[in-house]
Structure 1
Amino acid sequence: MLRVAVIGAGAISAAHIQAYLSFPERCRIVAVADVFPEKAEESIRRFGLQAKAVADYKELLGEGIDLVSVCTPPYTHAPITIDFLLAGTNVVVEKPMASSLQECDEMLAAAAKSGKRLSVIAQNRFRTPMMKLKQIVDEGVAGKILHAQVDSFWWRGHCYYDLWWRGTWEKEGGGCTINHAVHHIDALQWMMGMPEEVHAFMSNTAHDNAEVEDLSVAVLRFKGGALGQVTSSVVHHGEEQQIILQGADARISIPWKIKASVSKENGFPAPNPTLEQQIQALYEQLPDVEYEGHKGQIDNVLQAIENGSDLLIDGTSGRNTLEFITAIYKSASTGQSVKLPLSRNDEFYTREGIQAKATHFYEKTRSVTAFAKNDITISGQ
């Protein structure tokens, strides 16, 4: 029976707690920590946990905790994760992995030194359509991927950025690109690998209480010549989200859709129902994931601890996603194309460098500790 602690009792912690409670024979939550201890106590009451509440996570170091979920604001991810890893505890950390690539590298070094597992939340990989799309890409039945389109469309009201840690480069690490589109960017780099070059623009169009962007558009070049585009937004009504991959032989996407063409004698398209049926048959034959979302990722982490199996999303994968996002921020802030990988000497490698060099749109002038109602939406794509 693994002993688990949840660090941070904000809205996203509920997804972690519910996931752990799904596996009562394998783990038990023994502590919840939050700098506002009344929030930790409320989580314990809400979920009926036999756990203690603490204000300082450091009280739990050396307490025989097997696994922690770090559900705190992004700027705290690195120090908390490093402290627990070096104390001999496995760690699941919410997205984004950290506020800078330097912090990611420090977290990876701590994991290597301790020999403990480090996983970064990217729960959308544990959804049936996403897992099936990845497998179909790997099978190559749509042909070489020529173009990728990612629409990470969300909508958030002006007051969203009133929460004390949101809307600043220091504490949130950026805006919609790092905290909303991170899921789609993770999925894209999982399926296609990292781009070689990024050119991006970003703006703050509707949230003058935040330093950070509420809209960004990035154009990508991949090895082999494929191109891509990623739109990250919290100004899109309806919140439609999609990943479209155009292969040489067929279009495949999430939400799931297939379209395949062959060339007529004059070069114009004709339908290719045979290939469409072949790809659809493969899609239907692939197994559904056993557990979806956070529950699926927690199950994967528990298995890795229990029997030494591989993590689907480890620290290196989490770092790749942040490097992708950092390249978008660097390009949008400097007006220049950015080539990957970024070096440790890059001006955007450290948190201090990002704070100094990233475009600041407005000054954050309003701050609230919490909202009266803290319900959230989590992407299902």
Structure 2
Amino acid sequence: MSTATNPVRLGIIGLGNIGQQHIQHIQTAVTGGEITALCSRQPTSIAGLESVQHFSDYRQLIDSGLVDAVLIATPTMAHFEQANYALAKGLHVLIEKPIGLSCHEGEQLLKQHQSEQQVFALMLNQRTDPLFVAMKEQMDSGRIGAIQRTHWTMTNWFRPEVYFQVSDWRATWKGEGGGLLLNQCIHNLDIFQWICGLPVSVRSFCSFGKYHDIEVEDEATAYLRYRNGASGLFVGSTGEAPGINRFDIVGDLGTLSFDGDRLTLFTNSESTSGFCKSTRDMFGTPAVTREDITPDRQVNQHARVIQNFIDAIREQAPLIAPAEQGLHSLALANAMLLSSWENTEVDLPLNSAHYQKVLERHIAQSSLRKKANIDVSIDMNKSYR
């Protein structure tokens, strides 16, 4: 087993596009870990890892004694089974997002998590984006006061038809448990609740296969209600080009506004609520100062999460994205789907057992698609927003 002086022996389960990118990060930008085993259905040649043992069954890798930890980068439908087995065997686990097809799966995994010494993390890499870190710091400091309204329009996740055609699992209930909300916007939903907190209810309107030949959602609009009475709006799409990425948080003392490029802090001279009650100026507003607080965003997000995972194993460093926090964004995504399916407002915390029953009905009518044999151009850097 790894110690603070020995490298963490890593097994990589899943050698698709994202798995291979994680391997590159470990080889070039991460310290304290070494890849000692690989797993995929078909043998895959990875530069620099020609001598590393390859397994076609994840259980053989986990049982091999060659690894202290696994990084799971397989299709979403496999996350629960593979992580469950690894946790039961006492290994440290880092899973690609989301933690499962549903909150119910995530909750079952957390029950399998054995102790604080067993590190269980999720690849919520946008938590390392300095811009979102800056927004969270401003909110945690109380700089803009109590939230009055939130609004995130995130429609620049455009995906062409070929993105779905070359995958058998993607954008199916059986393979992914959803589409836009479970795949692309899960990052935004995590950041949304990480900074603003979870709402107490969601009313959403999802469109299924509106822009693509798929069975799951590719557009969503959701209205959020917060415990203090504040309201929120979230809009997502994979069918718009050019898309929009705009995130505003309006507080009683000011506003944080991200326009997709710059982050601006607007600070009022006094609280809006106080000014409203005290002013005698019929058309007055509080004086406001404006400050560009955009940080340098040049950071390797995925490498930083992997490094943090290794540091947590070797040095007990606090996790950037503990697995249990992955339930929050998944609850939002699940609630938005449930609200659309049942045409009603859904309260949070989510009734995960009820959602699971509804999801399983959709899964029962779903099937994996036949992958199209198409030559495609793949630049993973273009996939991130």
Could you state the TM-score of these two structures normalised by the residue count of structure 1?
Answer: 0.87
- Amino acid of the structure 2 residue aligned with 1:259: F
Query: Judging changes above 3 Å, is the alpha-carbon distance between structure 1 residues 239 and 67 closer, same or farther for their aligned structure 2 residues?
Result: farther
Secondary structure in structure 2 of the residue aligned to 1:310: coil
Kindly provide the CA deviation profile for residues 206-265 of structure 1, in whole angstroms up to 9, marking residues without a partner as x. 445211011011100011011111112101212332321111122213341223456672
- Amino acid of the structure 2 residue aligned with 1:54: F
Moved more, 234-243 or 126-135: 234-243
- Amino acid of the structure 2 residue aligned with 1:225: G
Provide the rounded CA distance (Å) in 1 between the counterparts of 2:338 and 2:316.
38
Contact 1:261 1:269 in 2 (8 A): no
- Amino acid of the structure 1 residue aligned with 2:69: L
The answer for the alignment partner of 2:149 in structure 1 is 147
The answer for the alignment partner of 1:266 in structure 2 is 282
Provide the rounded CA distance (Å) in 1 between the counterparts of 2:286 and 2:49.
59
* Candidates 239, 251, 264, aligned match of 1:257: 264
Secondary structure in structure 2 of the residue aligned to 1:331: helix
- Amino acid of the structure 1 residue aligned with 2:359: I
Moved more, 140-149 or 248-257: 248-257
Kindly provide the CA deviation profile for residues 316-344 of structure 1, in whole angstroms up to 9, marking residues without a partner as x. 10011111111001001110000011235
* Candidates 240, 244, 248, aligned match of 1:240: 244
Return the offset for 1:290: 9.5
- Are 1:314 and 2:332 an aligned pair? no
Return the offset for 1:29: 1.0
The answer for the alignment partner of 2:349 in structure 1 is 341
- Are 1:164 and 2:168 an aligned pair? yes
Secondary structure in structure 2 of the residue aligned to 1:129: helix
Kindly provide the CA deviation profile for residues 40-75 of structure 1, in whole angstroms up to 9, marking residues without a partner as x. 32xx13x55652222211111132412211111111
Query: Judging changes above 3 Å, is the alpha-carbon distance between structure 1 residues 345 and 164 closer, same or farther for their aligned structure 2 residues?
Result: closer
Secondary structure in structure 2 of the residue aligned to 1:253: strand
- Are 1:368 and 2:356 an aligned pair? no
Contact 2:149 2:231 in 1 (8 A): yes
The answer for the alignment partner of 1:27 in structure 2 is 33
Secondary structure in structure 2 of the residue aligned to 1:81: helix
- Amino acid of the structure 2 residue aligned with 1:139: S
* Candidates 345, 357, 361, aligned match of 1:356: 361
- Are 1:329 and 2:334 an aligned pair? no
The answer for the alignment partner of 1:224 in structure 2 is 228
Provide the rounded CA distance (Å) in 2 between the counterparts of 1:8 and 1:75.
12
* Candidates 19, 25, 29, aligned match of 1:13: 19
Kindly provide the CA deviation profile for residues 5-62 of structure 1, in whole angstroms up to 9, marking residues without a partner as x. 111111111332133224564111122211132xx32xx13x5565222221111113
Kindly provide the CA deviation profile for residues 63-89 of structure 1, in whole angstroms up to 9, marking residues without a partner as x. 241221111111100110111111221
Kindly provide the CA deviation profile for residues 168-194 of structure 1, in whole angstroms up to 9, marking residues without a partner as x. 111111010111111110001111221
Provide the rounded CA distance (Å) in 2 between the counterparts of 1:358 and 1:152.
27
Aligned CA RMSD, in angstroms, stands at 2.7
* Candidates 56, 65, 70, aligned match of 1:68: 70
- Are 1:102 and 2:104 an aligned pair? yes
- Are 1:2 and 2:8 an aligned pair? yes
Contact 1:85 1:114 in 2 (8 A): no
Kindly provide the CA deviation profile for residues 119-138 of structure 1, in whole angstroms up to 9, marking residues without a partner as x. 11110110111111111110
Identity of aligned residues (%): 23
- Amino acid of the structure 2 residue aligned with 1:199: R
Return the offset for 1:115: 4.6
Provide the rounded CA distance (Å) in 1 between the counterparts of 2:51 and 2:29.
15
The answer for the alignment partner of 2:194 in structure 1 is 190
The answer for the alignment partner of 2:56 in structure 1 is 55
- Amino acid of the structure 2 residue aligned with 1:159: V
Contact 2:102 2:330 in 1 (8 A): yes
- Amino acid of the structure 2 residue aligned with 1:150: W
Could you state the TM-score of these two structures normalised by the residue count of structure 2?
Answer: 0.86
Return the offset for 1:94: 0.6
Aligned length: 363
Return the offset for 1:314: 0.9
- Are 1:305 and 2:313 an aligned pair? yes
Secondary structure in structure 1 of the residue aligned to 2:17: coil
Return the offset for 1:269: 3.2
Provide the rounded CA distance (Å) in 2 between the counterparts of 1:366 and 1:301.
36
- Are 1:175 and 2:179 an aligned pair? yes
The answer for the alignment partner of 2:203 in structure 1 is 199
Provide the rounded CA distance (Å) in 1 between the counterparts of 2:52 and 2:267.
54
Query: Judging changes above 3 Å, is the alpha-carbon distance between structure 1 residues 340 and 370 closer, same or farther for their aligned structure 2 residues?
Result: farther
- Amino acid of the structure 1 residue aligned with 2:8: L
